[in-house]
Chain A
Amino acid sequence: MGDAISAESATTSGEVRFGGKKTEPGFCREVERLSGQKLSACYQCGECTAGCPVAFAMDLMPNQVTRMALAGMADEVLQSRSIWLCVGCNTCVTRCPRLVDLPRVMDSLRQIATHRGVRCPEPAIRAFHDTFLHGVERGGRLHELALVAALKLKTGRLFQDVPAGVAMMAKGKLAILPETPEGKAEVRRIFEECKRRAGKGDGHAG
């Protein structure tokens, strides 16, 4: 758990330093621009955290993420597990009295963290998304078996899920050959174009 927060900021834990050395002016604006959400709208009622199914595994609670991002505490939020653990279940968005779309905030923090090369405390989750998108970029559709295989190689957890994988194949549930839809080249071009636009500063392509 402790390695999620750098030694430097860990010494300040418990003490929230709004406006102190650790805050980054402009960070809030960057998050707001990318997420399309107004962070100051959040009045810290805690409804999001109360209903979040994965809060028990998070290091920063969802309401802390919004407030710390607002305060410009970039290191703390970008290094947190929470931004990767959010499953996008939309429970918080649905219940937030201020209509803050927290998963959009989490998404934009992931983008900034990736863009800045911040070490990810949940490398398997990040590898999952990268592998998933790489597969879609190349094939237009997701090939589930290739995803499982590539992910195992990447994370080194090679044999963790073998029984389930074998059983799935036995049941004819993992197609052996990827499908090749007509739109493959078009999808690849969409990825390219989005990366190009992100590179021009309209967003972050990761």
Chain B
Amino acid sequence: MKSANVAPGREMAMQDNRAYAYYPGCSLHATAKEYDLSARAICAALGVELREVPGWNCCGASSAHGRDHLLSTTLAARNLALVEEMGLEEVAVPCAACFNRLAVAGHELREDASLAEEVRGVLERPLQGKAKARALLDVVARDVGTERIRDAVVRPLEGLKVACYYGCLLVRPPRALETDERVEDPQSLDELVRAMGGEPVEWPHKTECCGAGLSLTRTDVVRKLSADILKMARECGADCIVCACPLCMTNLDMRQGEALKAAGERFRIPVLYFTELMALAMGIPDAERWLKMHFVDASAVARRETAAANGMEAEQ
């Protein structure tokens, strides 16, 4: 199957490169465009092949399960069935909320035979239940691994203090997600930042909730929760926050101005997708252009301006 004009050494390298199905989810085609673009770019540069699931549908996110459990499981299951039809076993999912839905549904289908039977009946597609949802972060940090990432870095994040923000849905609930992250103190994003030469800060809000889907309806709740996270990141000395979820991004970036205003704060702190931070470190040319889609100016991160370098830190 491999093309004949690949040099022998190159072919070896290509054999470690696994192909994953890719489920962008609805936000990555709209509000989180820069997440999609940067995810595809860093994966291509790292030799990870992403094949978009043909004809994927919305996973139902945080709305379907409140209406009907069978509906929410079937919406997720259809995507997993499509992955199986692609002949692939794992689907890489950048959005934490979509990842959570697909992973929990996959877990329930494997654990609960009668639910699986019912879902098959609604779906009218063969579904073996083998396809596994993986967070893109996990694929990058664990499958590609920090060693290969270190090699790919051309502009290390020297001196950059990063608050790694995992949020809720990447890690909870650990039993159903089948991940090996430490649920109260996850590490993959921290490892990634370290591999790129940055410095993950110690902070207690790694997995605090930003208010997620209440953004449009109970904005007051979201403002409070987001302000708490932003203030803690700042207090712990972070130059920026990195996240892996479009909902977290909306609440921490787009709502940052109003959230901090309501909390009586005047500072601003850039928020980036981990894929964007990687693109900056890997010298991917479009990286700075994607940052322009953010509401809080993140160009200081691109310029590697850190609080320490600016002499803003009083200590020492």
Contacts and interface: CB of A to CB of B under 8 A. Distances in A.
Interface of A: 34, 36, 53-54, 56-57, 85, 87-91, 93-94, 101, 103-104, 106-107, 110-111, 114, 122, 124-125, 127-129, 132-133, 136, 140-145, 148, 151, 155, 160-161, 164, 167-168, 171-175, 179, 181-183, 186-187, 190-191, 193-194, 197-198, 202-206
B216 A173 contact: no
Nearest to A132: B63
Nearest to A81: B218
Given A87-B209, A90-B168, A107 B65 contact: yes
B107 interface: no
A182 B216 CA distance: 29
A151 B82 CA distance: 31
Contact of A128 (B71, B173, B213): B213
Contact of A194 (B32, B63, B70): B70
A187 B57 contact: yes
B263 interface: no
B218 A183 contact: no
Nearest to A182: B55
B249 to A, nearest CB: 11
Main secondary structure of the interface of A (DSSP, over half): helix
Contacts of B224: 56
B64 interface: yes
Interface string B213-237: 1101111110011000000000000
Contact of B30 (A54, A129, A175): A175
Contacts of B68: 111, 194, 198, 203-206
Interface in B43-89: 54-58, 60-71, 74-75, 78
Interface residues of B, number: 56
24 contacts: A36-B69, A57-B218, A87-B212, A87-B213, A90-B100, A91-B172, A103-B65, A104-B65, A110-B67, A128-B63, A133-B63, A136-B60, A151-B216, A173-B32, A174-B31, A181-B56, A181-B57, A183-B78, A190-B71, A191-B71, A194-B68, A194-B70, A197-B118, A203-B69
A186 B82 CA distance: 12
A173 B30 contact: yes
B184 to A, nearest CB: 8
Given A136-B57, A168-B254, A194-B74, 16 more contacts: A54-B225, A87-B211, A89-B169, A103-B65, A122-B217, A132-B61, A136-B58, A141-B56, A151-B216, A171-B293, A172-B33, A173-B33, A174-B31, A183-B55, A187-B78, A197-B118
A54 B254 contact: no
Contacts of B29: 141, 175, 179
B31 to A, nearest CB: 5
A132 to B, nearest CB: 4
A128 B64 CA distance: 11
Contacts of A193: 122
B39 to A, nearest CB: 16
Indicate the member of B33, B57, B123 with the most A CB atoms within 10 Å.
B57
A128 B67 CA distance: 12
Contact of A129 (B63, B122, B225): B63
Contacts of A91: 168, 172, 209
B203 interface: no
B208 interface: yes
Given A190-B122, A194-B122, A202 B70 contact: yes
A36 B56 CA distance: 28
A16 B255 CA distance: 40
A65 to B, nearest CB: 14
Nearest to A193: B122
With most chain A CB atoms within 10 A of its CB, the pick from B64, B67, B295 is B67
A128 B216 contact: yes
Contacts of B208: 53
Contacts of A143: 26, 30
A183 B216 contact: no
Interface in B67-124: 67-71, 74-75, 78, 100, 118, 122-123
A56 to B, nearest CB: 8
Contact of A190 (B62, B75, B173, B174): B75
A173 B217 CA distance: 20
